[in-house]
């Protein structure tokens, strides 16, 4: 009798324990904390990432820097300018004293430089042992007359550069500089040693005012 009571009591305890276990309410898991990483917010797995916009100043800075300018474009513009300088008058050519050298300066723009004489200047030779006053005056007048053609060709180079450098931001500069060299016996009155033209790309594309400096 005592043993049966013990078994009955143990069975009741087991049933009570099982009932208590089934009656427990499982607490919801604590939501994962959000973590911020550059460019997005990471939330629990069932949520979609939210894009974070870069500050306007950062976007403007990237646009201002522009993309890498291919060297092939610079080389093309160098050869284009040389070709137009040589072809302007085959019977009385401009004397190129070197090839045009262009470069892109990151954050500033494109710069092209060259050296030339407005005409092929006669020199001393066994057949011309002395430069006469008449020759000196003729050379001077021919070079003065050639200046307007040279300025026009430089403006054309500005336009070609602004058009071809389409990866360069419009607020960056296009610069074309021509250095003019003379022989010691020449009359250089009214002739510049340097002609420099510059403007931002947007100004050139819209036919705006190009800044010209002569020294």
Residue 75 in tokens: 């080389």
Phi, psi of 187 (to 5 degrees): -90, 115
pLDDT in the model for residue 65:
54
What whole-number distance in Å separates Cα of residue 175 and Cα of residue 195?
Answer: 11
Q: Report the share of the chain in percent with pLDDT over 70.
A: 69
- pTM for the model stands at 0.69
Task: Report pLDDT for 156.
Answer: 98
pLDDT tens-digit profile of 142-180? 999 999 999 999 999 999 999 999 999 999 999 999 999
Distances (CA, A) of 199 to 27, 52, 162, 203: 70, 37, 10, 6
pLDDT of residue 13: 39
Kindly give the residue spans of alpha helices, DSSP state H, lying in the chain: 2-23, 56-65, 71-87, 133-164, 201-205
pLDDT along the chain (215 residues), means of 10: 41 42 43 46 48 44 63 97 95 96 97 98 82 95 97 98 97 98 96 98 97 98
What's the chain's length in residues?
Answer: 215
Record the tokens describing residue 7, joined without a space. Answer: 């078994």
- Please give the pLDDT value at position 123: 82
Query: What is the per-residue pLDDT for 129?
Result: 80
DSSP string, 96-145: ESS--EEEEETTTEEEEEEEEESS-----BTTB-S--HHHHHHHHHHHHH
């Amino acid at each position: 009798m005592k043993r049966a009571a013990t078994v009955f009591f143990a069975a009741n305890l087991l049933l009570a324990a099982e009932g208590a276990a089934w009656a427990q309410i499982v607490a919801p898991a604590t939501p994962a904390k959000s973590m911020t990483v550059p460019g997005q917010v990471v939330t629990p797995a069932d949520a979609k990432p939210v894009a974070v916009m870069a500050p306007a100043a950062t976007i403007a800075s990237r646009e201002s820097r522009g993309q890498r300018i291919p060297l092939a474009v610079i080389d093309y513009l160098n050869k284009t300018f040389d070709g137009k300088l040589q072809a302007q008058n085959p019977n009385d050519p401009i004397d190129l004293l070197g090839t045009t050298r262009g470069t892109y300066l990151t954050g500033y723009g494109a710069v092209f430089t060259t050296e030339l004489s407005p005409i092929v200047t006669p020199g001393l030779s066994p057949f011309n042992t002395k430069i006469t006053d008449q020759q000196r005056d003729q050379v001077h007048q021919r070079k003065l007359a050639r200046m307007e053609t040279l300025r026009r060709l430089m403006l054309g180079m500005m336009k070609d550069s602004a058009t071809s450098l389409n990866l360069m931001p419009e607020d960056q500069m296009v610069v074309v500089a021509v250095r003019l060299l003379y022989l010691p016996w020449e009359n250089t009155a009214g002739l510049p040693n340097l002609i420099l033209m510059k403007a931002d790309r947007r100004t050139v594309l819209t036919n705006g005012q190009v800044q010209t400096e002569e020294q």
